[in-house]
Chains A and B, each alone.
Chain A
Amino acid sequence: MDFPEPIRLLAFLLGMMAFVAVNAAYLVWAERKGAGRFQRRPGPTEVGWAGLLQPVADGIKLISKQVIVPPGADPILFRVAPLLVMAPAMMTLAVIPFSETLVGRDINVGLVFVFAFGAINVMAIMMGGWASRNKYAIISAARVVSQDVAYEIPMLLVVITLLMVTGTMNLNEIVQQQAGWFWHWNLFRLDVNPLMPVTFIIFFICMLAETNRAPFDMAEAESELVAGAFTEYAGMGFGVFFMAEYANIVVGCSLATVLFLGGWQSPFGVGSGVIWFLLKMYALVFTVIWVRWTFPRTQFYSLLNLSWKILIPISMVTLVLTCILLKLT
């Protein structure tokens, strides 16, 4: 099929929106079901078989609610913030290669694209928190900034380490370099960096922190800040924030899959395709949910200490080690 480029792109973006929406809806279901199982209770069971229609019911409920803008709030920024959280997540999915041909735009600077649009996320949550004129929201916004700034550094250091191994920022090329058996994946490239699995774990921790997931959900810490930056949002405004959280998890896990786990490459060297990408990505998404319901929320100071005193030094070490080993070989 040879469609003109703009139509192909438009179709891809529509598909991406549907993908994000379905993912957000059913990851909420998976999260609630998983949380239930981890806590030895059944989770949602009432709406549909095994609660499968629960996201639909939730969606209808959220849409039918009134969007309330508090009187002291900044009306424009308050309304814009949820959209600004959602839009970058969808844009970054346009450069993620789901398979060799299933990619929105195969651009040379794909990796920078993901991080550039990922950076807008922080700004948007902060604007939402500030515009709410609510003390919980402002505290939460201040936490989001210091947390995301702190975790951006080890994340980018890890990505630089990986960039030196791959030598390209084109995500599709990065995947193609990892073809063959699973020991060709960047995760197992111990010849260029014996600490590669550690690097992957740092990336994963930073991804949890950047998407504000437990144990790093300081932004939304329910027991201290009501709902943090989202306290004043009602109805679909809150719903969009909620969906964006899952969309960002999908983006983060996709990136981890592409960078470390060989993207759409099969682990046995034959039969590569989109199915492997989805399998790996959802395994990571499940791990994210698993971590959330296994570890309690950290304290804010230990959260920052973890980044500045442990993750940044270790990622520096892996960076220097990779430099040396690449020069030697």
Chain B
Amino acid sequence: MSNFIEKTVLSIQSTFQDMFESDEIAIKDGLMQSLDTRVRLLSILLLIVLCNLSSSWQILCLMVVYSIFVAVLSKVPIKSYIFRVLSVSVIFTGIVLIPSLFNIVKPGNPLIYIGKNLYITRSGAISASIFIMRSFVSLSFIYILILSTKWVEILKAFRYFKLPKIFSATLDISFRYITLFLDVTSNMFLARKSRSVGKSKGKIERRFVASSMGNLLIRSEYLSSEVYSAMIARGYKGEYKTINDFKFDIFDAVWILFNISFFVATFIVKGGKVWI
């Protein structure tokens, strides 16, 4: 049956599943869950920056292990976590990197000969493995954050960091309507699927996709004036106020201290030449 319909419906469903799953994992009793959301958000960002600054394979190996360790302690389902992280960092990035291994793209010292004049270079292999590890660590920390935190909490933390109103408020409201739009889209596609028999032409299928987009645009325009009226009815005057109930406690302090000492230690071991 129509492939693109199923693909779209399935990807929307997996989005909903992700939202549901992260809510479930977020209420578990894990390492990440015990931290203040602001601390969680900032420390994850900082860890990603550090791993991207590092170009030493030893440090990156350590960070790979560290990220898996944090995932386990945060009670993230390891199988799906590893699969998701690997599919992008190793499979996608790996395919992108294959040509860079060979001497025809970038000359270098030979490591493994494939043919007479074709070999994998040493520098190519080192670069590629560092690249993959870096990509793994970055993605891994992001998944740990999104799986161990309720998305509403992340949005709350954003508000705390005083982004310009148009961003924090937009982010907040748009997040709620994404769920609605995804549901509407999924219904439109399912309705189409239930009405079609046999194969349809690509041209007609594309026309269907475009008209559903157009239809969604019409609905969004209508919705935005409805939402605006609803906001006015609740006293909106161009100001967007929210309630924060964050609490910084001993766990946060321990976590921050541990991370700082961890990185200072690696820094000292590597003779201060690790970063940059």
A binds B: no
